[in-house]
Amino acid sequence: MLRAMSRNREVARVLSELALLTELDEGSPQAFRVRAYDNAARAVDGLATDVASMSPSQLVATKGIGKSTAQKIGEYLESGKIAKLERLRELFPPAYVELTRIPGLGPKRVAVLHEELGIGSVDDLRQAIEQQALRALAGFGPKSEEKLIQAIERLGLSGKERRTPIEHALPVAREIVAALASVEGVESIEYAGSLRRFRETIGDIDILVAARDRNAVMAEFLDLAVVKDVLGKGETKSSVVTHGGMQVDLRVVDPDQYGAALLYFTGSKAHNIRLRQLALERDWTLNEYALSEVESGKVVASKTEETIYEALGVSFIEPPLREDTGEIEAAQDGTLPDLVHLDDIKGDLHVHTDLSGDGHATLEDMLDALAARGMAYVGITDHGEDLRINGASRGQMLAQRKRIAGLANRYEGMRILHGCELNIDREGNLDYDHDFLMGFDWCVASVHSLFDLDRDAQTRRVLAAIRHPAVNAIGHLTGRQIGSRPDIELDIDQVIEAAVATGTALEVNCHLRRLDVAPEVARRATEAGAYLVISTDAHTVRELDQMRWGVLNAERGWVDKSRVVNTWPADQFLNWVGAKRTMYAGTTAEPDLEGL
């Protein structure tokens, strides 16, 4: 059978890898070639046609793809390899790449550590620090040793098993699933394990296939371009390692057993153990093949997860909840939250256009794409003036407001709020001035720098932003970047309390690198009565599709749909937005909200 799917995702992933490794090689993300590969990755990912069907001249004619990159794409499509990439992979294995993500390091400093001390992994670095070996190097001292060890610990990077941030694991899994879905005889396919539960870091990728003929899909799997080494191959299970250093397990089961296998391999282990106890109470057993009677072996349920949960007398539990943190009890009592799903989302309230220095699409392109996604209301939130490289001046903001007003008729049925992403400075001050801020329909305020301030200082500045009448939401609250930047230290309880008191939402940032607030914070906040807003923070049209990841992150936080303001109908949402502003109507100076 011919492969119906396009190879765009695969080629985009290869170009991104090439950009990353070139950055390590050349020492700067601004290097010309790094930017060229990055732009090309974005361009290929956004293509409407299959990159594999395009001629070299069509490739070069595509915006974002230069001549030399087009050649590399051609090389890859023809041979499955890019010579330069192969060379860079040798130079920079995955353990080395991980080192460069540690805050305070970076390509150049890691190169020094590698040359001077032979450090090639986080564990090497840890040992060297314990032996106080770094301080002998120029540019390093006892202080940097201490900072690095703290970062390693706060990010959970040391130890035997390297875990991969979901940002890097998920695209690989989706690419493999897409590639194998069209193989002859495949009836169902999904990724399972921690990835399906949407954990923020992934040990290994588990892929499950239902097929009557196992050989075809197994052969195709071992032959994928993403595979570096085969660790083991068998009739029902094979394991490989990708070029990015991730292990992938593929299991092929009989279609009749797919539900039982999916349940088992989705886990978590703790959740499985609890389910098995429920089965035993009924004199049944539950394993990866079926739920069945102990005595007779007769199968009670096995084809779908739904039938197994039903037979066990509990309601269906969505994968992100399966951690044995109360979901079994809640499913027995019928008290599971009414989880939010992608089709509940009616608005995206954190969207950048090319008015932000790091935005890539025009206002009209973003709005077209939002309208195509059926949004009932949106907030355009380019950076405020304080982010010097990226932000917009007052004049630019006012011009944008006018432009939006002029577009209102073009997007009937979609209310466009003119907003701003404000920067919270060291003291908690925001961009512009009070009156100018009150002129926006909607504001998100976020921390973009000074991640090292102490807990009191961080908490104080975030509270100040929450208490500002123009601020409707706090963007990416903790500033974390999974696997590479720890969350800022904050008194989360105080933040939640102030959010509740002022009617300010906490954002669930959908970017896979952020997923901020984290599920635990989302759970605590909503239990305490706070509202959330799930926002893409898109800087490209493509990133608008990230909404689904924020939704899954909120599910993992047990968030009830009613707590998510952008699931509300437009009227309810707009009333809520207006409420905080009118609370302070007529005030000319910053009101003192300390007492709230």
- Cis omega before residue 186 (within 30°)? no
- Comparing CB distances to Zn ion, the nearer of 537 and 555 is 537
The number of beta carbons lying within 10 Å of the beta carbon of residue 127 is: 14
The number of beta carbons lying within 10 Å of the beta carbon of residue 284 is: 21
- In sequence order, what are the beta bridge partners of 532? 506, 564
Beta carbon of residue 332, minimum distance to ligand DGT (angstroms, whole number):
19
Backbone angles phi, psi at 329, to 5 degrees: -60, -45
Beta carbon of residue 155, minimum distance to ligand DGT (angstroms, whole number):
16
Beta carbon of residue 160, minimum distance to ligand DGT (angstroms, whole number):
12
Residues 518, 559 contacting (CB under 8 angstroms): no
Cα separation, 560 vs 549, in Å, equals 16
Beta carbon of residue 130, minimum distance to ligand DGT (angstroms, whole number):
26
Cα separation, 132 vs 66, in Å, equals 46
- Comparing CB distances to Zn ion, the nearer of 434 and 448 is 448
CA distances to 16, 195, 202, 483, 549 from 167, rounded to whole Å, are 12, 11, 10, 10, 10
Size of the site for Ca ion (CB under 5 A): 5
- Comparing CB distances to ligand DGT, the nearer of 289 and 584 is 289
Beta carbon of residue 266, minimum distance to Ca ion (angstroms, whole number):
10
Which of 17, 249, 421, 516 binds Zn ion (CB under 5 A)? It is 421
The per-residue DSSP string of 200-234 comes to: SEES-EEEEEEES-HHHHHHHHHT-TTEEEEEEE-
Beta carbon of residue 193, minimum distance to ligand DGT (angstroms, whole number):
3
- Comparing CB distances to ligand DGT, the nearer of 54 and 263 is 263
Chain contacts with ligand DGT (rule: CB under 6 A): 193-194, 199, 202-204, 206, 264-265, 267-269, 272-273
- Comparing CB distances to ligand DGT, the nearer of 259 and 267 is 267
- Comparing CB distances to ligand DGT, the nearer of 204 and 545 is 204
Cα separation, 4 vs 179, in Å, equals 9
**For 398, how many CA atoms within 13 A lie in the half-sphere containing its CB?**
5
x/- map, 161-200, Ca ion, by CB under 5 A: --------------------------------x-------
Cα separation, 484 vs 295, in Å, equals 52
Cα separation, 568 vs 558, in Å, equals 18
Cα separation, 313 vs 232, in Å, equals 38
Stretch that binds Ca ion, among 138-146, 179-187, 245-253, 337-345 (CB under 5 A): 245-253
SS3 423: strand
Give the residue from 459, 466, 440, 450 showing the smallest Cα distance to 387: 450
Residues 578, 82 contacting (CB under 8 angstroms): no
Stretch that binds Zn ion, among 304-312, 427-435, 490-498, 529-537 (CB under 5 A): 529-537
Which of 206, 431, 487, 555 binds Ca ion (CB under 5 A)? It is 206
- Comparing CB distances to ligand DGT, the nearer of 273 and 408 is 273
- Comparing CB distances to Ca ion, the nearer of 193 and 475 is 193
Which of 348, 537, 543, 555 binds Zn ion (CB under 5 A)? It is 537
- Comparing CB distances to ligand DGT, the nearer of 133 and 227 is 227
Beta carbon of residue 163, minimum distance to ligand DGT (angstroms, whole number):
7
- Within residues 333-372, the interface with Zn ion by CB under 5 A covers none
Beta carbon of residue 221, minimum distance to ligand DGT (angstroms, whole number):
17
Which listed option, ligand DGT, Ca ion, Zn ion, none, makes contact with residue 264 (CB within 5 to 8 Å by class)? ligand DGT
Residues 168, 204 contacting (CB under 8 angstroms): no
Cα separation, 421 vs 404, in Å, equals 16
The number of beta carbons lying within 10 Å of the beta carbon of residue 450 is: 14
Which of 249, 327, 487, 543 binds Ca ion (CB under 5 A)? It is 249
Structure tokens at 393: 């001046």
Cα separation, 553 vs 544, in Å, equals 16
x/- map, 10-49, Zn ion, by CB under 5 A: ----------------------------------------
Pairing between β-strand 291-293 and β-strand 284-286 as defined by DSSP bridges:
antiparallel
- Comparing CB distances to Ca ion, the nearer of 17 and 206 is 206
Q: Which residues contact 374 (CB under 8 A, 6 or more apart)?
A: none
**For 529, how many CA atoms within 13 A lie in the half-sphere containing its CB?**
8
Beta carbon of residue 48, minimum distance to Ca ion (angstroms, whole number):
34
Which residue has the closest beta carbon to Ca ion?
193
Q: Helix, strand, coil proportions of the chain in percent (round to 5)?
A: 45, 15, 40
Stretch that binds Zn ion, among 35-43, 285-293, 401-409, 421-429 (CB under 5 A): 421-429
Beta carbon of residue 270, minimum distance to Ca ion (angstroms, whole number):
14
Residue 344 CB burial class (10 angstroms; 0-12, 13-18, ≥19) = middle
Cα separation, 398 vs 400, in Å, equals 5
- Comparing CB distances to Ca ion, the nearer of 103 and 193 is 193
The number of beta carbons lying within 10 Å of the beta carbon of residue 372 is: 10
Which listed option, Zn ion, Ca ion, ligand DGT, none, makes contact with residue 537 (CB within 5 to 8 Å by class)? Zn ion
Residues 495, 477 contacting (CB under 8 angstroms): yes
- Comparing CB distances to Zn ion, the nearer of 197 and 461 is 461
Beta carbon of residue 338, minimum distance to Zn ion (angstroms, whole number):
29
Beta carbon of residue 350, minimum distance to Zn ion (angstroms, whole number):
6
- Comparing CB distances to ligand DGT, the nearer of 195 and 366 is 195
CA distances to 130, 158, 166, 167 from 152, rounded to whole Å, are 13, 6, 18, 19
- Comparing CB distances to Zn ion, the nearer of 262 and 366 is 366
Which listed option, Ca ion, ligand DGT, Zn ion, none, makes contact with residue 302 (CB within 5 to 8 Å by class)? none
Which listed option, ligand DGT, Ca ion, Zn ion, none, makes contact with residue 269 (CB within 5 to 8 Å by class)? ligand DGT
Which residue has the closest beta carbon to ligand DGT?
267
Which listed option, Zn ion, ligand DGT, Ca ion, none, makes contact with residue 421 (CB within 5 to 8 Å by class)? Zn ion
Cα separation, 345 vs 324, in Å, equals 27
To the nearest 10 degrees (0 to 180), the angle between helices 32-45 and 67-79 is 60
Beta carbon of residue 254, minimum distance to Zn ion (angstroms, whole number):
47
Catalog residues that contact Ca ion under the rule CB under 5 A. 193, 203-204, 206, 249
